[in-house]
Structure 1
């Protein structure tokens, strides 16, 4: 009975509270106090919860940023490696195109393309080693071309590789070969390659006693005299004219057509009469 009476009184008070609250603009003082206490408690609980939530979110964002930064660093490194490789392939492709264009101009002899496999700093201006030898039909003194013109000759032949003596070789004991200049009038002037000026990057041509007019820009090629090299191999153009140390003969400086300081692929010109089966 007590419980039933208590429930009836409670429901009655609740109904009365609802009626009073609906009829009044503000709740009773006790209810206001209770609401304020509850609101304060909610704020006290909500502030640390919000702080913890923001901290967790910041840490998560920081970890995501760190991981993304690592991924971007790897992509940047891969991009740099790809760029370097692309530049190397582009340069190699350009050299091969130039070499192919050169090979298409060789008509009176067979063209054998080879790759430079060694070039020591001590003999950088003297010689290079290529990956073709006697097994491929190469013989000593055969002309070697690269890029747009002649770069040297075969100096030593092994079974699977050969040494190329470059035009920039300043050794006075190096074998020289006969060349000729074709002037604007179509006349030819014969001479011999006598040296190389490393400071000016120019070939020296001597033993010229003719009085024929030679001008800057005249083409220089092999003459074929002496039986060492075929005629018509392009060497370069006349850069300047002068006289030797004794003043007895003309001295010609030649701008080489090929860059002997950067040789990666070469073409060995083999006379058709010298080819092997």
Structure 2
């Protein structure tokens, strides 16, 4: 006897779609088949039945200068649950001089009692010095085995830092999630746009050209190949970058890619909407 049986729906798995009932016990999918019985029944006729989604890249209560992103761990996870997402992975950013485990504990305290679904945390590595990388095994032991690395912004690592971080993660069984962009090209193009008075939303993609994202991905994958480090590429936004990934995979590298709906469904024309709509 199951706690809940979802009947008459079309199940969607990674391999196929088929008609079946789903038996749920203690909040988990326990079985699927036909003619299952349960204490509660939910008729899903005419609907698709999918397992809960996992969103492994979210920013809740994220500090941005003097402000923070609008959702906290309660409102953000409620919204996720309403959309069918049953697990999220947020980020930890240690302050300068703060131990990674202390930053992890502080971030977990923000989620405690608020998150209504399962959550995990990526640890951001804004330094790849010996002292920081020595803390990686303790983070993994504490349940945070994925680490965010940046190639742009203030917390970026240079090529040497990336190589050291990737090697350390490879040695200890951690995994890198990398934001790949060419920082110096972006800074140059932004300065040029500001000097010319080009400050509208339409200039955003012009200061972050696809070929510079692809260049950063190419460089990242070359560094990862030196130490045989698997990695996840964060929010891929262009076809040129995907071509670099495909070439790396053809060479035998282990690399996964995440992307976002806007990169699949929208293009740069959105930035050229009248007024400030492009923002």
Give the structure-2-normalised TM-score. 0.23
Relative contact order (C-alpha < 8 Å, sep 6+): which is higher?
1
Higher gyration radius (CA) = 1
Give the structure-1-normalised TM-score. 0.23
